[in-house]
Structure 1
Amino acid sequence: MVLNRISGVRIAGIASAVPKEFLTIEDDGKVFGKIEMLKVSENTGVKKRHVATGGMCTSDLFFVDAQRLLKDLDWDPATVDALIFVSQTPDYQLPATACVLQMRLGLSKNCAAFDVGLGCSGYTYGLWLAASLIVSGSAKRLILMAGDVSAGGIPVKDRHVAGLFGDGGSATAMERDEQAYPITFQMGTDGSGCRAISFCLL
């Protein structure tokens, strides 16, 4: 188990976005059965989930988030040293979606940009990775993006998971700040239950 206490890193701002369209538990009940979906809702608390339509992809949500952050924080795009894209639904297999967003946001060509393929634990791992990059001196400012556009890719016949997945994204601006409170990370992995949520999108 990895235990890290990282000092000198500040979360400057967080922005999030979801698509306008959504499906309710009643909508899912028409496809998978009302009783089954009510059970899922009672166990998880999920009553509606936002879903991307019309060709919207993960980077579209992240682009909106990052643009808002840069404007609200008055950050010059040229001062962003790294861009981390954490998702299980990249826009393409190639190129990395982070590279596409670097171009769309007008970030410097000196900005490091890369993808990380994680789902539920993605934000926590991304935050740990981002903080580690900053404290190591590799970046002074960076943007962490985490989220998915997965609702359209979940197998329609699997009623056990279909009601759980919605679409959304967040962008977190982080920077070096010696006065910031320490952030403690306790990282571990247990892949023994992987078959319970595994599926193939192909």
Structure 2
Amino acid sequence: MSKTPAPRPATPGPSEQPARRTPGGPVLQDSVTEAIAAAFFEELADVGYARLSLEAVAKRAGAGKAAIYRRWPSKLDMTVALIRAVAVDASEIEDTGTLRGDVLAFLAEIDGALRHRLPSKIIPDLLAESGRNPELAQVLMTAVRDTRRSKATGLLERAVDRGELPADVDRELALDFLAGPLYWRLAVVHTATAPDYLDRLTDKLLAAFAA
């Protein structure tokens, strides 16, 4: 089956968003912002959050360090803004009309993201770093986890409305089941999956939801 491609880690382009001006400062060109954002994700994937430096990001982007500071005052602020933007952009969950279709589409999106070169390196690194950095941990919880769980809750509520799940389905456990097995297999133990793995996993999840 075809996989949903991972979201491109970049900010809206010039055709979508006008150039912005900082208060009392220069116009911020979106093409520069895009280049910096792309460089940030490449650098983050290569060296990890702890070793990431704004100087290296600026060099990779072909921009001056001042261009970064005009947009974000620190490495943490930059990380927060760019991770949040990607998380929100990637959080929409397809409504296929059936619970099975929705779950399969949800798993395919996660599968595509975890196999993508950048997220496959970035996500485990940020999760590990969050154990040492409370501020980063808070960002990951609010910008990534809470956003995605809220959207996934909508998947369950649609199934309840269609009569595919009982109204008293344990939503908290169902959300854990949705994300846990595939993340564990691809991001933690790095085990290959058969072509029919997502279909089989979907069937197991549906059986668990109904139990």
Q: TM-score scaled by structure 1?
A: 0.26
Q: TM-score scaled by structure 2?
A: 0.25
Bigger Cα Rg: 2
Highest RCO, 1 vs 2 (Cα 8 Å, sep ≥ 6): 1
More helix by share: 2
